[in-house]
Structure 1
């Protein structure tokens, strides 16, 4: 099995790709595709320079529906041949939260991916992942009867923690977990009431625009990101498999210290809030048999101090990915988060909008 994993330089956003070769069969996944740093034309150029026209994408994983993670997906769908989509299942109130965050925070008003993703993807299987139940005493996912995702032909809803394989007989697993946390929703709801509003009064883009001034006042009272759901993803084996890493800016150092010898598994964290009650212990419980094989962590929400918890770090992790735009106004990444990571012998890789910040891993 051959793997090339690429963290693409698109600034304040996320665009991550894994390309596999299984006995001469190619298999490609994408985790998120969006950027607040790049305008549409530049994002289009990035996508078209990454994939040839009609390149098959076997699975598109969508962590959540904020603009900086999805606003390149329509271009991706037009340029490539997406075969399947895996996304979090979200309820009506969460849809409202996302629409508010996208319009107020990013001036992004396209709601098709939230309300009717078939309008973008056409007639392909859309696999929605239900919310996870928090159970830190869980005994770990079972890898005995994985689901061959290549055999799924219709849109379905599956439980959080379902174990996918690219095809039966391949020792590689994709395991999505859709975590829902509503502490910030409650903050926002209370702040809306102070402005004489509720969710029913802002459930469309038109209503949000009509109440924009008061919504902004409520929005600014929320600590951190207004995001209720985030789907994390384990992508890796259940056995030792070492991977190499290229970082253009620090190649000589990496070649000596990090070029060899860390595990190929990756934990993509999207914008998850690792400070939500019991969430880290739940992640570790569910992934218990696979924890020794996680060599790379995508640090959640561009390295925000509001989303990071040091307890997510583990001995196997050698590579921490920070994706952010160098001119972002949020203070990402947090100096505190970087300071927590380095003393744990984990190297922080900064993926920005600059071409030379690209990170490539391969085995």
Structure 2
């Protein structure tokens, strides 16, 4: 139906398109309030770019006044009811015995069984999490011993989330242990949350050509030149060993080139999903093929994380050969049912803070106003900023950001289709549900409700299955507000052993609030006894 309104060019095709976009926006907002998703949501971004901001604002104002919201509310209620009925019918058709019952393991037709181990290694102030997967098949004689065996040597798939510590000795020792226990020397995926030295300085040791692992895929956040300088300004406030400093500088100056030295088959960079957080730059890059699984390893599928079934994610290519995506999740080792889901999310610094940082650098270095954005595009200038002007960059970060820690890649790791699965944990207890998900958050900030809401929206289908939650920035009070209820995990973990007492990691107030909520808290420091190891078998009965 054509809209008629006295808004200048009301009969123009652009006005009709603007109204269509406004209608879609309104419907999407209502649908989300019911926990529903709109079809073709990814197409909205493309249509929206064809309409000017001014015309879209006019159309949105018009449609908000004239849209028959109650009819769409009724439609959503009916859709939700039908979904609940379908779920009930599915549950009735696939009803199964508890995992502890011997007959539950006789139903072998569509069964898929994965062993999953994860290790938060005791590196001190830093981050080093290792996860493994092994296809155990339907044979119960295989999965029971896997709960007590070392998973590193026999894993079919192994991934790492961050690899660093301050001082570096802590992570180097743990890296040597992992490499020595991995005869194949294969590392399927390395996830980098952000470019702080205490989260990346162990990577040259982990991926050393002679004494390290061979990585297939590296996944890290897409940070432009400004964002990387911001990350450097935050990290440079403390000094580290020269080898760690040099690698840190190289990553900031040229992240793709530096990571490419380790010989990965592909480098995947994840952009923030929201355009107001920098995601609009995605469409300025040339199209590319989405990330692909290595035929020689455990298979995985890259999917669009908006939830549209098996749709491949849209991908772009950088000039230096990295694959850039906005929304992606990796389904590892999926069988007829089940698999393991690795799902990243990137939260970027706000535009206002970015602009303040740029202005601060210009003032401190007495550069012409507005020149920083162009200068930082030049590799030689970036190298000078991380070597000759380290103090200036650090001061600019402190002025623009204070104690905030903004840009970081979070990662969910847990069973795919957990509502259909069962899990057996290593403490010999059996459970009827697979609530065994893990969430790593790097140095993400969870201090304001809007950020928390966006995070929860991104992980809408996974958030209730998280049982182990890594507190951001080692449990700093500047990054986490327990009153916002980011996630209802059973175990909250802080990887922390600060060498500077004024850091107060983890914050006593956060630890107290966690325990008061009935959840458990665990600090993983530098003592070998603080190692956190979680072992489980997840199965999807037929």
TM-score by length of 2: 0.57
Residue in structure 2 matching 1:223, options 402, 413, 432: 402
Q: Does 1:337 align with 2:510?
A: yes
Q: Which runs of 5+ in 2 are unaligned?
A: 1-113, 138-154, 277-304, 314-320, 537-542
- 1:142 is matched with 307
Distance change (3 Å), C-alpha of 1:319 and 1:261: farther
Q: Which runs of 5+ in 1 are unaligned?
A: 149-153, 247-254
Q: Distance in 2 between matches of 1:266 and 1:347?
A: 14
4+ residue runs of structure 1 moved beyond 6 angstroms?
259-262
Secondary structure at the residue paired with 2:445?
Answer: coil
Residues 345 and 458, structure 2, Cα contact 8 Å, conserved in 1: no
Q: Distance in 1 between matches of 2:198 and 2:224?
A: 21
Residue in structure 2 matching 1:80, options 213, 222, 227: 213
Residues 215 and 263, structure 2, Cα contact 8 Å, conserved in 1: no
Q: Distance in 1 between matches of 2:398 and 2:426?
A: 39
Larger radius of gyration, structure 1 or 2?
Answer: 2
- 2:478 is matched with 306
Q: Kindly indicate whether structure 1 or structure 2 has the higher relative contact order, using CA contacts under 8 Å at least 6 residues apart.
A: 1
Secondary structure at the residue paired with 1:127?
Answer: strand
Q: Distance in 2 between matches of 1:207 and 1:340?
A: 41
Q: Does 1:113 align with 2:251?
A: yes
Q: Distance in 1 between matches of 2:275 and 2:238?
A: 29
Larger fraction in helix:
2
Say what the alpha-carbon RMSD is for the aligned residues. 3.1
- 1:59 is matched with 189
Q: What aligned pairs does 1:1-363 form with structure 2 within 5 A after superposition?
A: 1-23=114-136, 26-39=156-169, 42-52=170-180, 54-78=184-208, 79-107=212-240, 108-110=245-247, 111-114=249-252, 115=254, 116-133=257-274, 141-142=306-307, 144-145=309-310, 155-160=322-327, 162-169=328-335, 170-182=338-350, 184-197=353-366, 199=372, 203-221=381-399, 222-225=401-404, 227-237=405-415, 238-239=417-418, 241-242=422-423, 244=425, 263-276=435-448, 278-310=450-482, 311-315=484-488, 317-329=489-501, 330-363=503-536
Residues 77 and 120, structure 1, Cα contact 8 Å, conserved in 2: no
Deviation per residue, 1:5-46 (Å, 9 max, x gap):
11000011000011111237611110000001333xx53222
Q: Distance in 2 between matches of 1:32 and 1:288?
A: 24
Distance change (3 Å), C-alpha of 1:341 and 1:186: farther
Distance change (3 Å), C-alpha of 1:125 and 1:30: same
Q: For this pair of structures, how many residues does the alignment match?
A: 340
Distance change (3 Å), C-alpha of 1:118 and 1:10: closer
